[in-house]
Structure 1
Amino acid sequence: MFFVKEKEPIRWRTYLKRIGLLALLLFLYQLAEVPMSLLALPHLSLPWIIFILICSLVAVALIIWYAWYCYQKVYQQVSHKITKSNIYLIIGGYLATVVMAQVFTFLNSKIYGQEDTANDIVLQTLMSHNSIILVAACIFGIFVAPIVEELLFRGFLMRGILVNLKPIYAIIISGLLFSSIHLSSNPISFALYATIGMILAYIYAKTDKIEASITVHMINNAVAMILMALGY
């Protein structure tokens, strides 16, 4: 069953505050990625590498905590337990992301001659610098990104801002905004990330458990990151 609307409509002032908070969270999330990018600088000494890794760890820990705190402020999730039916939906959701990724990758190749999205190319380039960045990028992509992005684009957005819309509209908007933070060089690659975002939003709306969409997101990213890592 999809989540139901709030009994009382959210006031415009509250909407504006929550939209501003979402923008702030996204900005902080982008800042949390900066320390990892610094590892690509040439001739870094070991003390500097350790210092940057510590800064990166602290930054992502803080953003995860703050994103969870904001989600809890707008919505108290009834249950956090993953049930058997949730597992079936998680598996089905992941398979759906795989199928849609193959479809859009094929279209991207045929129409624009691109085998990878701009987002993946940037990530592959970053990972190719050295093994430290490769490991850090894998950790960030598999664990940090799914947790933060699901808390923001599914939990906080759908429960704190889009809660009075019909679920289908909330799912579509969630997917579109999710795609907007991923680099896209053409409409096909944008549609790819938007579709994946909508699948994740559907899973969250259907289960009412942020852990379910986080799990699908983690599996999807883990497979992609492992394939990229094996390439290097």
Structure 2
Amino acid sequence: MKEEKPALKNIKSIALYIIIIFGYFLLTQVPMLLIAVLSPIFNKGSVIVNTILFITWIVLVGLIIFVTWRYYHKKGDKEKLKIGFKDIGIALGYYVGMLLITMVMTMLMQATYGADTSENQAVLEAMFASGKNIWFVGGMSLTVGVVAPILEELVFRGIPSVTLFKNSPKWFIMFMTSIVFSSVHLSENIISFVMYALMGAMLCHAYFRRGNIIDSMLVHFFNNAIVAVFMFLTFITQK
């Protein structure tokens, strides 16, 4: 039997990794999709039924995180998940940098297009505003504030770095993953696209600092959790 040519083997490997990464990306959409599907049931269900459904949702989300994390850990180096106060402080510094990027780009969008927020942010705010029960808003808050930072860092930074771009230079990985990251965040204009690409680059740089995916997850958490908590508290105070 003839040995497969290296070029053809590489093409097949690249195609396979693209399919796998896309599959895991679809998994990242499941938590929010599920909570949206369950929302009408939460409106009519009893406390017991709603509690069971919510716990079931949490278990399913935990399973998705476990499967995604296990694949990343299997393909990559067995990195240590240690993090200290210094790392938390550095993560906060990255978050401040992302906040400055958001502020500058938002002002540019306002001046250029008259839009004071990105389409992605507007969609999230609309989804939170449509919430009619604590279960839906609670699930949304957990998804945006906790689940998304974990899954998105694994899918957009971690898995591509240890599979598709394993032998690529870091600048190339940062560029490619940031472009993809921005592409899925509903950028409706070039300024919004650049904003999310720069945020993706900051998250990628945080990951590369120690080669520890926890670092970029933490930065992502700071960025998302503040918004999620604000939205949750807004819902609570309005009820």
Distance of 1:48 and 1:143 partners within structure 2: 24
What is the match of residue 71 of structure 1? 72
Name the SS of the counterpart of 1:81 in structure 2: coil
What is the match of residue 3 of structure 2? none
Which deviates the most, 115-124 or 32-41?
32-41
What root-mean-square deviation, in Å, do the aligned CA atoms of Structure 1 and Structure 2 show? 2.2
Give the AA of the match of 1:110: A
What is the match of residue 18 of structure 2? 19
The alpha-carbon deviation at position 76 of structure 1 amounts to 2.0
The alpha-carbon deviation at position 109 of structure 1 amounts to 1.3
User: What TM-score results when the alignment is normalised by the length of structure 2?
Assistant: 0.84
Q: Does 1:165 align with 2:168?
A: yes
The alpha-carbon deviation at position 13 of structure 1 amounts to 2.5
Give the AA of the match of 1:59: L
Q: Does 1:121 align with 2:122?
A: yes
Structure 1 gap segments, 5+ residues each? 1-8
What is the match of residue 61 of structure 2? 60
Distance of 2:191 and 2:50 partners within structure 1: 38
Name the SS of the counterpart of 2:188 in structure 1: coil
The alpha-carbon deviation at position 45 of structure 1 amounts to 2.4
Greater C-alpha radius of gyration:
2
What is the match of residue 103 of structure 1? 104
Aligned length, in residue pairs: 224
Distance of 1:112 and 1:40 partners within structure 2: 34
The answer as to whether partners of 1:39 and 1:49 remain within 8 angstroms in 2 is no
What is the match of residue 29 of structure 2? 30
What is the match of residue 44 of structure 2? 44
The answer as to whether partners of 2:153 and 2:217 remain within 8 angstroms in 1 is yes
The answer as to whether partners of 1:141 and 1:225 remain within 8 angstroms in 2 is yes
Name the SS of the counterpart of 2:40 in structure 1: coil
The alpha-carbon deviation at position 228 of structure 1 amounts to 3.0
Percent identical pairs in the alignment equals 27
The answer as to whether partners of 1:67 and 1:148 remain within 8 angstroms in 2 is yes
Judged with a 3 Å threshold, the aligned counterparts in structure 2 of structure 1 residues 183 and 52 are, in CA distance, closer, same or farther, namely farther
Give the AA of the match of 2:20: L
The equivalent position to 1:199 in structure 2, one of 199, 202, 209, is 202
What is the match of residue 3 of structure 1? none
Aligned runs of 1:151-190 on 2, under 5 Å? 151-190=154-193
Provide Cα deviations, 1:76-113, integer angstroms capped at 9, x if missing partner: 23322124653443122111111101011111111111
The answer as to whether partners of 1:178 and 1:194 remain within 8 angstroms in 2 is yes
Bigger share in helix: 2
Which deviates the most, 80-89 or 117-126?
80-89
Give the AA of the match of 2:75: V
Distance of 2:172 and 2:56 partners within structure 1: 38
Judged with a 3 Å threshold, the aligned counterparts in structure 2 of structure 1 residues 163 and 53 are, in CA distance, closer, same or farther, namely same
Judged with a 3 Å threshold, the aligned counterparts in structure 2 of structure 1 residues 44 and 193 are, in CA distance, closer, same or farther, namely farther
Structure 2 gap segments, 5+ residues each? 1-6
Judged with a 3 Å threshold, the aligned counterparts in structure 2 of structure 1 residues 208 and 40 are, in CA distance, closer, same or farther, namely same
Q: Does 1:80 align with 2:87?
A: no
Distance of 1:222 and 1:33 partners within structure 2: 15
The equivalent position to 2:137 in structure 1, one of 131, 134, 153, is 134
The answer as to whether partners of 2:54 and 2:135 remain within 8 angstroms in 1 is no
Which deviates the most, 66-75 or 177-186?
177-186
The answer as to whether partners of 2:109 and 2:116 remain within 8 angstroms in 1 is yes
Give the AA of the match of 1:37: A
The answer as to whether partners of 1:175 and 1:198 remain within 8 angstroms in 2 is yes
